[in-house]
A and B are shown apart, each in its own frame.
Chain A
Amino acid sequence: GENVEQHPSTLSVQEGDSAVIKCTYSDSASNYFPWYKQELGKRPQLIIDIRSNVGEKKDQRIAVTLNKTAKHFSLHITETQPEDSAVYFCAAREGYQKVTFGTGTKLQVIP
């Protein structure tokens, strides 16, 4: 089955700096890669996703890049704000139903 690795497990940045979270996947057949944000005690919520026929996608301060050859994808958050503090999960879709999640990155934005 699919295996998704995520790094780093924790990340602290100063407000206004950029944050980058990286994930690798094992199944070359995976073709859909969502990113979820989970605030403390809350449910995970989708923030951005990318399909394998696209190399980069941007939505305001958030961008995701995908390198199919290397089987890795990254989340980039620019101009970080305190409200960006949360746990972020990457995921990769295996088959038509199952989505395999990474282990999460705890992002702390220091005011």
Chain B
Amino acid sequence: NAGVTQTPKFRILKIGQSMTLQCAQDMNHNYMYWYRQDPGMGLKLIYYSVGAGITDKGEVPNGYNVSRSTTEDFPLRLELAAPSQTSVYFCASSYRTSGGTIAKNIQYFGAGTRLSVL
């Protein structure tokens, strides 16, 4: 298994350009997430998906769009790039384990995409 694969690893955009960050997982996980991590800060949830065809906003969704047409893929779209979107973007996927009354939610992260908007 490759796990969670993100492409590209690095990208520089000009203000107003658009791009799609790709994320794919081969672990048959239902749940997938996009986070951004600004320098020295924690992870903020942008969008998440609980399964193919279902997406929902996280904490900081403005300026982004997502789709989930298959279980494996969860691309993140930036339509009009702004300097405030300069960040490291992490995709993650997870599964729920039972084995009791409380399920876990173990998230596996991709290697990240470092994006600069100039």
Interface residues of A (CB under 8 A from B): 1, 6, 31-32, 34, 42-46, 49, 51-53, 89, 93, 96-104
Contact = CB atoms under 8 A, between A and B. Distances in A.
Contacts of A34: 104-107
A101 B109 CA distance: 14
B53 interface: no
B90 A99 contact: no
Interface residues of B, number: 28
Interface string B33-56: 001000011111100101000001
A6 B104 CA distance: 21
Interface in B65-118: 90, 96, 100-112
B58 interface: yes
Given A44-B43, A98-B58, A32 B90 contact: no
Interface of B: 31, 35, 40-45, 48, 50, 56, 58-59, 90, 96, 100-112
Given A45-B109, A97-B31, A104-B42, 7 more contacts: A32-B105, A34-B104, A43-B112, A53-B101, A89-B42, A96-B50, A97-B50
Contacts of A99: 45, 105, 107
B42 A103 contact: yes
Contact of B102 (A1, A42, A44, A53): A53
A100 B43 CA distance: 8
Nearest to A31: B102
Interface centre among A53, A96, A101 (most CB of B within 10 A): A101
15 contacts: A32-B103, A43-B109, A46-B106, A51-B104, A53-B100, A89-B42, A89-B43, A93-B105, A96-B50, A97-B48, A98-B48, A99-B45, A101-B42, A101-B44, A104-B40
